[in-house]
Amino acid sequence: MAKATDTSGTTPVPQRLLAAATRLFAENGYDRTSVQEIVEAAGVTKGALYHYFGSKEDLLQEVYARVLRLQQERLDAFADADEPIERRLREAAADVVVTTIDNLDDAAIFFRSMHHLSPEKNKQVRAERRRYHERFRALVEEGQNAGVFSTATPADLVVDYHFGSVHHLSTWYRPDGPLTQQQVADHLADLLLRALRP
Amino acid sequence: MAKATDTSGTTPVPQRLLAAATRLFAENGYDRTSVQEIVEAAGVTKGALYHYFGSKEDLLQEVYARVLRLQQERLDAFADADEPIERRLREAAADVVVTTIDNLDDAAIFFRSMHHLSPEKNKQVRAERRRYHERFRALVEEGQNAGVFSTATPADLVVDYHFGSVHHLSTWYRPDGPLTQQQVADHLADLLLRALRP
Amino acid sequence: MAKATDTSGTTPVPQRLLAAATRLFAENGYDRTSVQEIVEAAGVTKGALYHYFGSKEDLLQEVYARVLRLQQERLDAFADADEPIERRLREAAADVVVTTIDNLDDAAIFFRSMHHLSPEKNKQVRAERRRYHERFRALVEEGQNAGVFSTATPADLVVDYHFGSVHHLSTWYRPDGPLTQQQVADHLADLLLRALRP
Amino acid sequence: MAKATDTSGTTPVPQRLLAAATRLFAENGYDRTSVQEIVEAAGVTKGALYHYFGSKEDLLQEVYARVLRLQQERLDAFADADEPIERRLREAAADVVVTTIDNLDDAAIFFRSMHHLSPEKNKQVRAERRRYHERFRALVEEGQNAGVFSTATPADLVVDYHFGSVHHLSTWYRPDGPLTQQQVADHLADLLLRALRP
DNA sequence: TATGAATGAGAGTTCATTCAT
DNA sequence: AATGAATGAACTCTCATTCAT
């Protein structure tokens, strides 16, 4: 959670700023992180930040955009694979856990700071989030229609149940805990699939 | 989420302040809520606030203390009931959903603003939270030891899985949605119990 | 133009701030005057300024409101007097010169900084200004209708002609110049009346 | 007041910059206009601006120099004409009105932004302004000495009276108002001449 | 002749908190 | 028990200008 930021080396300034902001937003929260802290952590001046980003909020949005893009791409790949629905859902469910643990900072920011975005940007992020949710739900529904998943619970609720646990990871997961990220991922995917047994 | 606050009536000033603060913290976040806004919403002056509370942070802690107390009491009651373990877990799992929905503002604050507390107070809240978690975990383990719940997943993880979905409620639950709070609670408890089938 | 400001004495803080702001706005212009300079000149802190005024712009508006109020009152008094129209116009025309010279700072600010007000406040000031203009015009028209003033020039234009010269005072008038303010006032009023001879 | 600026065409870059700056200074004031806005309006980059002009202030001074040169030339022409003094003054007085209305942007900048120049440049502009004033005053005095103008008012004051109204034009004159610029000019010149009748 | 990344100082404003009353 | 004036530090953001290319 506290990787060092390259403050003067070869990494381009915008990336340096984004990395520093991500770390600080995750550690201290968006409102508690001052622009001054960000530029100091990135080894540049305020002017440089405002040369590349229109506002502090833009930095936050960039963090969102990056993680959303990544997760959507991965979900699409797993969902489109040529495998049985049970397997595709299990792998997608496990992958989102692994990816989230790999980017715990982004995840923490995502779920904690979304309400700091202006209504306009918030709407945009929610829309992309919705698209992600629906792709996942389609997998659940596909299995329900095929009769391999129980229909006892509405698919929407099933998805929210699983995403809740993903969301929660940044609260309790520690890299030095008893379980590796893959083990956690397998367990959580397993819980989902077991709950869906007819 | 936006109940009116009694700004001048008979409610004692400290309660009025707490109610106003809860609503505003949930709506706009802790950092985005100014002390001025709180006292205006409560119909008192700054001096009055600082007469009853030592700081803005104290208000936040009071919100936590209240919700933690309430949830611990309810969990204890369900866990100590004289019923089969399967039923006790189901009812505890459903109740925490209902209680959370009944106090969505508190829940939103809880999961979003904990890092705004000073390290000392944070530690205290985490300790109480831990106690709550462990009581819940004990229920799962009891069922596992009795052979009615699967032991495929560590009990800790099971608890985090469920709490994740509770935590997530404030993100997606809307009172005017298709499901009543009781229906949501039953579904989520059902998912938990189904996942625990041996 | 550079009266000393009471920085710590008995004058109430709002007045001190207004006096300091007036002097600095006149000397350096609104945009060139920083809030920091104002509070230093008034011997208070920024917090105190924002306790009494909502913004820097509010200070500017207060300067306007004060001078508009004063001038309207005086004009009304002269216009309502029980004297021949020729005399009433002459005295009103001379008085606005004297009053303007007495408050050269306000006048300089008035004509130089009005466009710094937000559209909303600008509109409000223009409306009050318009009222003043129309009262003055009514005097000219009264004389024209009575046949004592020439109708060769539209009354509106006559008023703008005179006010232009008043406006211009802050550009050239110096207290240590060859003419006293009363002499200047009499000359300018005389020019107006002479121009209006049939 | 808002002529479009040729942002990419054949007009040389310095002229384009000057035109854009003039329009923006008049619309928003000197301090409120950023160098960035000027170069964007002119369709060039900052580097280009600083290639041709040493500073933002230099742009302002160029605007002044241009209008001063123009007005001095025209006044000299009218003053030197071979006509009776009464006619020469009337025509000069009317011409400055027409020229000012033709360049209302420059006029607005002139009277509002002079104090934004550095002391050195300010002094220079005032000196040229003084020369213009004195040429005009000489006309008044010539008529007074010839007995065709009243000597009741000092010539200096007469000139300031007229210039005040010229200065004031940018405050009230609107191209779509009831009077054409020529009509306004004739009226204002007439007021001056009528005031000077012995 | 022109670019545009980067600077660094300073802008207006907000805010939790204190304290004399 | 309660007021509200005042503090002072921190906040986000702007801007004219420079300079390597």
For residues A60 and C38, give the distance between their C-alpha atoms in angstroms, rounded to a whole number. 36
Distance from CA of B183 to the nearest CA of A (A): 10
The answer on D64 and D24 residing in a single domain is: no
Same domain, D73 and D38: no
What's the confidence (pLDDT) of residue A4?
54
The pair of three-digit structure tokens given for residue C136, joined into one six-digit string: 């003055």
Nucleotide nearest the Cα atom of B57 (by C1') = E16
CATH assignment at residue A45: 1.10.10.60
Is the pLDDT score of D114 beyond 90? no
Q: Which nucleotides of F are covered by protein (CB under 7 A)?
A: 1-20
Same structural domain, A32 and A100: no
In chain D, residues with a C-beta closer than 8 Å to the C-beta of C171 are 111, 167
Report residue B178 as tokens.
Answer: 């298709």
For the CA of C32 and the C1' of E10, the distance in angstroms is 12
* Residue D35: CB less than 7 A from any atom in strand E: no
E strand or H helix at D11: none
d(CA A27, CA A170): 11
Q: Is the pLDDT of residue B8 over 60?
A: no
User: What pLDDT, on a 0 to 100 scale, did the predictor assign at position D13?
Assistant: 84
Kindly tell me whether chain A and chain B come into contact, counting contact as 3+ Cβ pairs under 8 Å: yes
Which phi-psi region, left, alpha or beta, contains residue D146 (left: φ > 0; alpha: ψ -120 to 50)?
alpha
pLDDT at position C5, please?
57
B27 and B68 fall within a common domain:
no
pLDDT confidence bin for B149, thresholds 50/70/90: very high
Q: What is the pLDDT of residue A80?
A: 95
Looking up tokens 């619970």, which residue turns up? A153
Give the whole-angstrom CA distance, residue B91 versus residue B87: 6
Instruction: List per-residue pLDDT tens for chain C, 198 residues long.
Output: 444 555 555 688 899 999 999 999 999 999 999 999 999 999 999 999 999 999 999 999 999 898 899 999 999 999 999 999 999 999 999 999 999 999 999 988 888 888 889 888 899 999 999 999 999 999 999 999 999 999 999 999 999 999 999 999 999 999 999 999 999 999 999 999 999 999
How far lies D92's CA from each of C136, D86, D134, in Å?
29, 10, 13
Residues B18-60: pLDDT tens digits? Answer: 999 999 999 899 999 999 999 999 999 998 999 999 999 999 9
Chains B and C touch (3+ CB pairs under 8 A): no
User: Strand F: which residues have Cβ below 7 Å from it?
Assistant: A 33-37, 46-47, 50, 54-57; B 13, 44-48, 50-52; C 13, 44-48, 50-52; D 32-36, 46-47, 50, 55-57
- Domain residue limits at C46: 13-52
Token duo for residue C127 = 């409306």
One-character DSSP codes across C16-44: HHHHHHHHHHHHH-TTTS-HHHHHHHHTS
Average per-residue pLDDT in chain B?
Answer: 91
| Mean of all residue pLDDT scores within chain D | 91
Domain contains D7:
no
**Interchain contact, B194 vs A160, CB within 8 Å:** no
Instruction: Give C116's DSSP letter.
Output: G
Average of per-residue pLDDT across D169-173: 92
Last residue of a domain, one of A52, A68, A99: A52
Q: Pick out the nucleotide with least CA–C1' distance to A14.
A: E5
Q: Please give the nucleotide, over all strands, whose C1' is closest to the CA of residue A49.
A: E6
Residue nearest to nucleotide E17 (CA to C1'): B55
Q: How many domains does chain A have?
A: 2
Q: pLDDT value at position C1?
A: 42
- Confidence at residue B6, expressed as pLDDT on a 0 to 100 scale: 57
Do D71 and D100 lie in one domain? The reply is: yes
Q: Which two tokens stand for residue A29?
A: 């929260």
Q: What is the pLDDT of residue D8?
A: 55
Same domain, C31 and C62: no
* D119 in C contact zone (CB under 8 Å): no
Asked if C70 and C99 sit in the same domain, the reply is yes
Dump the DSSP string for B7-45.
Answer: SSSSS-HHHHHHHHHHHHHHHH-TTTS-HHHHHHHHT--
Spatial distance from the CA of C92 to the C1' of E10 (Å): 45
Flag whether pLDDT at B5 surpasses 80. no
Give the whole-angstrom CA distance, residue A161 versus residue A197. Answer: 15
Instruction: Judge whether D72 and D101 are in contact, CB under 8 Å.
Output: no
D96 within domain boundaries: yes
A192: in domain: yes
Residue B25 lies in a domain: yes
A185 in a structural domain = yes
* Of residues C89, C196, C93, the one with CA closest to residue C152: C196
D112/D128 Cα distance (integer angstroms): 17
Shared domain check, A96 and A47: no
Instruction: Judge if C45 and C134 occupy the same domain.
Output: no
B125 Cβ under 8 Å from any chain A Cβ: no
Length of chain C: 198
Cβ within 8 Å of B, A 25-64: 28-29, 31-32
pLDDT value, residue A8: 52
Residues A99-126: what's their mean pLDDT?
89
Beta strand residue intervals within chain C, DSSP E: none
Taking a C-beta distance cutoff of 8 angstroms, is the pair C135, C95 a contact?
no
Contact call for residues B167 and B72 (beta carbons, < 8 A): no
User: For residue D164, which of D118, D81, D107 has the smallest C-alpha distance?
Assistant: D107
Angstroms from B31 CA to nearest CA on chain A: 7
Domain of residue A123, CATH code: 1.10.357.10
Q: How far apart are CA B167 and CA A165, in angstroms?
A: 9
Residues A22 and A104 placed together within one structural domain of the fold: no
Across the range A36-46, mean pLDDT stands at 91
Q: How many CB atoms lie within 10 A of CB A61?
A: 18
Residue A94's SS3 state is helix
Query: CA at C1, C1' at E2: how many angstroms apart?
Result: 46
Q: Is D163 inside a domain boundary?
A: yes
E strand bases under 7 Å from protein CB? 1-20
Q: Is residue A5 part of a domain?
A: no
CB atoms within 10 A of CB D180: 12
Nucleotide nearest to A43 (CA to C1'): E6
Whether residue B8 lies inside any domain: the answer is no
Amino acid B7: pLDDT: 57
C56 beta carbon to strand E: under 7 Å: yes
Q: Are B117 and B60 in contact (CB under 8 A)?
A: yes
Q: Are residues D144 and D181 in the same domain?
A: yes
Instruction: Phi first, then psi: give them for residue B82, nearest 5 degrees.
Output: -95, 75
- Residues A74, A170, single domain; the answer is yes
Whole-number percent of chain A with pLDDT over 70: 95
